[in-house]
Structure 1
């Protein structure tokens, strides 16, 4: 009987120790996962903020021009970018694409991929570079973004204008963007820019819901034609950006042909 008592006590102690060890392992795994999620969140927030600020500036400018049918930048001087209004539009595109390159280099990692916000950012990048959304060739866009980098940061406006005046490579890579922006008298080109701006606008509202670093501004769906409405509704928001729930803010109600 005494032997059985010792055996029972030993078994209970062993079982208790095993339980404690198991609980400790579970707790450590939980803590590790929680710390990793916190770290991932901080990484995404730090990485996205400069890109969101650049996107916000670009959308604000394009929205203002869209309300005027882009008339203020018709017939620009593309040789020297001497007109400040047109030069600022060019720079805002370049700044945004440069921040996308920084984001791509530094942050499109497993840490970002694990974050829901990071996955949404990746979906927007994929959409913006898709064949029927992008304004210029993907490689040309990335080249512009890389050309605007200086010491691992995006050039400011003065540095950019100086580079345009002195750097033949900057002029070379800017050519496709300038070809788009100098043809905004054409309806089809305006609609392409409007579609691109719509996607960037949705990016801002989705990745900065509380608008901590961006502005909460209305869209201009009245400037979209029927074809653009269909492209955005069925392809952009219907395929690439299905998680954007309030698409009507950006494209309005269905458009009918007259």
Structure 2
């Protein structure tokens, strides 16, 4: 479905070259919910954005459904991007447009006929549970509702792949659960492959079946979370897995204290 082969991306900065991603390779199968985790600056968002060439790598191949996107013309790449939806950390909604019109926006750009647009918008809003908010404007929505509008907008062009860049970092923990549940339902019911970037191990464990751990622009370990007895080898992976266990233990102790 998605194959990243030896991806490298470097930025020019005042302090010299910044190697955001170095020789990273990844294989995402159809139907996966694949997580990319690491601390800030690890390169995970940059790697995610190479999948739809929002970031074009200097080296490596980006193969989606058998096509190397780096070899496509501008017109061919635009066509291919219609099959790759994306949601962002800060929603990126158009505040002067209603929920309905925000979801309609990418369909208008794609020149989808009006009747079909209406049908798709209604289906997408129903999918994320916001049919009753069609006429509302973003300023009247909660953070979780805004992110669900962003998900509906990303689904409008009926993508095969959904890229999620820190989709829960701007919402509270309770809302995080509803966003992850919506993504899980989309994956299960629509068969959409999801790649999700996060720095929270609890997000990975709640939704992903596979995960790659990044540090300093490199993928240091990969795990299939369906396997039992996972034993991380790198320091960063050991920390992430141990920290989640510690946090879970802390939550359980808080519950016990509450009902003591």
Q: Which has the higher helix share?
A: 1
Q: Which is strand-richer, 1 or 2?
A: 2
TM-score of the aligned structures, taking structure 2 as reference length? 0.31
Given the two structures, how large is their TM-score scaled by the length of structure 1?
0.31
